[in-house]
């Protein structure tokens, strides 16, 4: 009996004492550039002795991932960390399912308040802004034009500096049988284009009043009608295969010269980079027209309550690695974004990233640094969904611009 008991303890003790830091991570980074960027974090986690349990949920906008996450939480089976952003972080904190005590201990030890801008840090905090419960990995710019350089050069077209210039270029390309705008007409992609148009047509104050303050008069005003007018023009520049197309497939159309332009966040650059393409050689990058505006999206990971010391240590390790200086540099070079940390040198980044970094600082000084509503940085889920539904309904129908603006204001009011 004694031997059996001794043997029993010899068998159990190693797995109990030496449990490695473990983290199940839910995310939607499944495209080529995204997967390559995420692999940097997976490798760092493994090198530090961690066990990474991957839970990818395909879908560029993250809608499918968010549905999966909600189901896991309802089932009391939350992952250690999940890709999430904006006010949704605080929504989950309101439900009492996040674990700020784990990541906040890391944040205090490593001095995150000094490493992040106040604007980015505010998105990462729970407990009424007192404690970190999420870690940022980057800053994406949303309002970008991406273009095939050869297509533009061969047709005598320069990167547009106004929406009128873009429309003229698109008309010229279309007359020659070239698809002017590569687009995947999924709701989140329609909303991505819409907010870039709104920023350019309406300006910074208009965007804030409409999509941050949710001002009824702005949502149903004459300027919003003009925004929908421009969206109707853009719809005419897409091809018949647009509905349902994934964003990275649309990026591939530009890469291959099947289309001239794409309006998409700078994760598109990660696709160009993964294919060995270079800016100003194979493709062009330029912000969509605006007056010192900059729509940002901060990719981050929130940490949920998990039982077990191995999972708690896994969360702490993951948070520390995500904010690591070298990780933020290498990850963002692959991802197409720029670091969330303020002290990472931009020397090794390409010209598109350097442009993004410079424009972000300039926009911050001039009141144009604004959160993307389409990518969950400005609004809670109900309000974002209400706007997105009207935008995609208009884009994929013959609804008039006036009716769209009217429905937009009504839908937002009903969601509050």
What's the half-sphere exposure (Cβ side, CA atoms, 13 Å) at 339? Answer: 22
Pairing of strands 51-56, 81-84: unpaired
Give exposure, 41-67, as e/b (b: 16+ Cβ within 10 Å).
Answer: beebbeeeebebeebbbebbbbbebbe
At residue 11, the pLDDT reads: 40
3-state secondary structure of 396: coil
Name the CA dihedral angle for 352, 355, 357, 360, rounded to a multiple of 10 degrees: -120
At residue 101, the pLDDT reads: 82
Q: Crossing angle, helix 401-415 and helix 381-395, to 10 degrees?
A: 160
Question: Please, which residues bridge with residue 293 across strands?
Answer: none
Whole-angstrom CA distances from 183 to 14, 147, 248, 260, 278 are: 54, 12, 10, 11, 21
At residue 8, the pLDDT reads: 38
At residue 13, the pLDDT reads: 41
State the 10-residue block means of pLDDT for the chain, 416 residues long. 41 54 95 90 96 91 90 96 94 92 94 96 94 96 98 98 98 98 97 98 98 98 98 98 96 98 96 95 98 96 94 96 95 94 96 96 94 95 96 98 98 98
Question: Please, which residues bridge with residue 125 across strands?
Answer: 132
If we measure between CA atoms, which residue out of 63, 59, 355, 390 comes closest to residue 211? Answer: 390
At residue 60, the pLDDT reads: 65
Sequence-distant (≥ 6) Cβ neighbours of residue 74 within 8 angstroms:
none
Give per-residue pLDDT as tens, 232-265: 999 999 999 999 999 999 999 999 999 999 999 9
Give per-residue pLDDT as tens, 349-363: 999 999 999 999 999
At residue 341, the pLDDT reads: 96
Rounded to whole angstroms, the Cα distance separating 180 from 147 reads 10
């Amino acid at each position: 009996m004694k031997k059996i008991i001794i043997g029993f303890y010899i068998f159990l003790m190693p797995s109990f004492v030496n449990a490695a830091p473990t983290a199940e991570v839910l995310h939607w980074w499944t495209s080529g550039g995204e997967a390559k960027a995420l692999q940097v974090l997976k490798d760092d986690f493994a090198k530090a002795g961690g066990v990474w349990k991957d839970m990818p949920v395909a879908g560029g906008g993250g809608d499918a991932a968010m549905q999966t996450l909600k189901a896991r939480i309802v089932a009391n089976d939350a992952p250690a960390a999940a890709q999430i952003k904006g006010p949704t972080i605080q929504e989950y904190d309101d439900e009492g399912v996040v674990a700020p005590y784990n990541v906040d201990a890391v944040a205090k030890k490593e001095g995150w308040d000094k490493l992040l801008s106040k604007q980015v840090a505010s998105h990462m905090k729970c407990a009424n802004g007192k404690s970190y419960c999420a870690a940022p990995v980057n800053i994406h710019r949303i309002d970008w034009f991406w273009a095939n350089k050869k297509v533009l050069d061969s047709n005598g077209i320069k990167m547009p500096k106004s929406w009128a210039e873009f429309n003229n270029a698109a008309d010229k390309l279309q007359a020659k049988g070239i698809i002017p705008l590569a687009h995947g007409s999924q709701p989140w992609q329609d909303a991505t284009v819409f907010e870039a148009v709104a920023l350019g047509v309406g300006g910074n104050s208009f965007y804030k009043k409409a999509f941050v303050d949710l001002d009824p008069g702005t949502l149903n005003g004459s300027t919003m009608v003009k925004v929908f007018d421009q969206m109707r023009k853009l719809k005419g520049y897409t091809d018949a295969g647009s509905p349902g197309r994934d964003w990275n497939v649309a990026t591939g159309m530009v890469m291959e010269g099947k289309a001239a332009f794409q309006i998409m966040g700078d994760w598109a650059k990660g696709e160009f980079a993964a294919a060995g393409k270079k800016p100003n050689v194979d493709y062009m990058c330029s912000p969509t027209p605006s007056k010192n505006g900059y729509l940002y999206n901060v990719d981050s990971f929130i940490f949920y309550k998990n039982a077990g010391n191995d999972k708690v240590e896994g969360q702490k390790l993951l948070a520390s690695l995500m904010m690591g200086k070298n990780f933020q540099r290498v990850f963002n070079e692959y991802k197409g974004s720029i670091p969330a940390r303020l002290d990472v040198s931009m020397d090794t980044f390409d010209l598109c990233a350097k442009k993004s970094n410079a424009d972000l600082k300039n926009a911050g000084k001039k009141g144009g640094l604004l959160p993307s509503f389409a990518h969950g940085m400005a609004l809670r889920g109900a309000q974002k969904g209400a706007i997105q539904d009207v935008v995609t309904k208009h884009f994929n129908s013959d609804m008039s611009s006036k009716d769209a603006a009217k429905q937009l204001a009504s839908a937002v009011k009903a969601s509050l």
